[in-house]
Structure 1
Amino acid sequence: MGAIYSTAIISSSLMIRRPADGYLPAGFTPPASAGSGLNVPVDNLLKTPQFWLLFSTASLLATGGMGLMSVAKPMIQNVFTGSMPDLVTPTFASAYLMALAAGNLGGRIVWATVSDKVGRFNTFQGFTFLAAPIFAVSPFLINSCVMDPQGPMAPYYLAAFCGSTVLAVSVMGGVFSVLPAYEADLYGSKYIGAIHGRFLIFAAVATVLGPSLLLNLRRGAESTAMQELLSKVDPTKFTNTFGVDVSNAQSLVEAKTLTISKLMTIMPPGTMDPSPFLYNSTMYTMAGLVTAASVLHFMVKPVDPKFFEKPEQEKKKE
């Protein structure tokens, strides 16, 4: 892998060339700001509301994808393996991970191409319109599979869940690929390298926020589910199985000796296993974050001319 990566990077660096002066791809129409020669200096970047609005939008959009990537395999196993063991095998889970990776890569290519046709603003707004329903409908797809795993529609619900989450991850890839061109549309291309460097902090924010938020929400849902099960368990059975009184269950949970799966073995017949539903609150939260991103992105307008570099400034620098 190291040899392949090194070869690809070195070969690419040797093949990169500057395009001829004035070159534009066939059929490409540059935005009005691109031909104006106006550029926002890096010193003015943080003074523009567009930076904070677009930075927040990109961070919130990427957070969901980062979170999904971090827990994809345990999620698919915890949610579907128990209900559909014949279909959701370890091989299926590995294939699902590969599909998420393909969605990430494909999103970087496909969404960048789409943005050239429909514009960066419309593409980013489309990201929010697409990702919010995906996260919001995921609990329904999960519940439909778990409640009737043998039903004729169960495989289709599973396919819809897998396909929609791959699409959500493609949005994350699209954010990374479309953002540099979007920055150039807003601020001009002269200082785009330094400007993009400041925007890239959103990647670190999403990398930390996505997995930590998802895991903390799951931990909270797991704690709530555990308390509900403990309120229904037979105290005598609990003591015989775990060697302590049910009032001391929390110490076992902290030591990871007591889990939901172990507790389910002594629960009364007919008790529903809450494990498949632990990610529901997470998905609704992600939908809310993407909705907030949509509202923030609607507020992105062309940059105020006062922030652009004045012609005399450019002449002095030259």
Structure 2
Amino acid sequence: TYVVMISAFNMVGRFIWASASDYIGRRNTYWIFFVLGIALYLSVPYTAAQVSVNQSVVWLVYFYGATMIIFTMYGGGFATIPAYLADIFGTRYVGGIHGRLLTAWSTAGVLGPLAITSLRQNSVNNAITDLMTRIDPAAFRAQFGAPVDQLQLLVEQNSVTIARLMEIVPPGTVDPTSGLYNSTMVLMAALLAIALVSNALMRPVDAKHHIVD
């Protein structure tokens, strides 16, 4: 269901944001993308933590709402960028410029998941290391049939996971699973902050470079 919602809100965002940009301007639309995106990305880790410890539906609704708004901006950015490029560089070569942008976009589409996977795995390793400081070595041996000094091997074999460690941690230990993507959210917010500054520095092409037919 969540994946279907991602696709649906991405599609809806293309219509809503592209239409809105005709009234508020493409530059202002991207200001909204960057400022609102930073706020939403930074709010996701806190919201996810609240969902894991508080069963109130309010936090779950906020989490879904925040992420769906983010996905509308994904679609909106894709739909709005050709017109924004035309505003900045003119319409004559906007096709070629947009093609180069799509090449960069595709590169990000390949490198992005790799970065996210790496960040998540690093978070998993840190979470396991933290949980191990709370676990009795005897309980670990009883659970996994191996001493603590074989932890790294067991992790690589996927025998030791956060879920299985949570079975033997002391009562009251918070499950770190909800925070595994925190570093990813912070990275996304940082990238949007860079984009915000870049957007602020961007200016239309100087008139002396205009092509006269």
Could you state the TM-score of these two structures normalised by the residue count of structure 1?
0.64
**Aligned CA-pair RMSD:** 1.4
Instruction: Measure, in 2, the Cα distance between the counterparts of 1:189 and 1:295.
Output: 25
**Match for 1:106 among 12, 15, 40?**
12
Helix, strand or coil: the match of 1:200?
helix
TM-score between the two structures when normalised by the length of structure 2: 0.94
- Tell me what 1:204 maps to: 106
The code of the aligned residue for 1:142 comes to A
In structure 1, runs of 5+ residues without a counterpart are: 1-93
The DSSP-based 3-state class of the residue aligned with 2:193 is: helix
Aligned counterparts, 1:283-298, within 5 A: 283-298=185-200
Q: Give the AA of the match of 2:115.
A: L
Report % sequence identity. Answer: 38
Equivalent residue for 1:256? 158
Return the alpha-carbon distance in structure 2 between the equivalents of residues 98 and 172 of structure 1. Answer: 15
1:147 pairs with 2:49: no
Relative to total residues, which structure has the larger helix share, 1 or 2?
A: 2
Shift of 1:269: 2.1
| AA of the residue aligned to 1:130 | L
1:214-229 paired onto structure 2 within 5 Å: 214-229=116-131
- Structure (1 or 2) with the larger CA radius of gyration: 1
Amino acid across the alignment from 2:74: M
Query: How many residues matched?
Result: 213
CA distance in 2, matches of 1:182, 1:209: 25
CA positional deviation for 1:118: 1.1
Aligned residue in 2 for 1:135: 41
State the shift of 1:178 in Å: 0.6
For residue 194 of structure 1, the aligned residue among 78, 96, 114 is 96
Give 1:1-318 correspondences, 5 Å limit. Answer: 94=1, 96-149=2-55, 154-309=56-211, 311=212, 314=213
Partners in 1 of 2:44 and 2:147 — Cα distance?
A: 38
Give the letter aligned to residue 162 of structure 1. Answer: Y
Residue number in structure 2 paired with 1:79: none
Q: Deviations over 1:160-214 (max 9, x none)?
A: 1101101101111111111111111122212222221112123213312332222
Equivalent-residue separation in structure 2 for 1:304 and 1:280 (angstroms):
42
Q: Distance in 2 between matches of 1:299 and 1:116?
A: 22
The CA deviation at 1:111 is: 0.7
Q: Counterpart amino acid of 2:49?
A: N
User: 1:235: Cα distance to partner?
Assistant: 0.9
Structure 1 letter corresponding to 2:37: A
Deviation at 1:129, TM superposition (A): 1.3
Q: For residue 230 of structure 1, report the CA deviation from its aligned partner.
A: 1.3
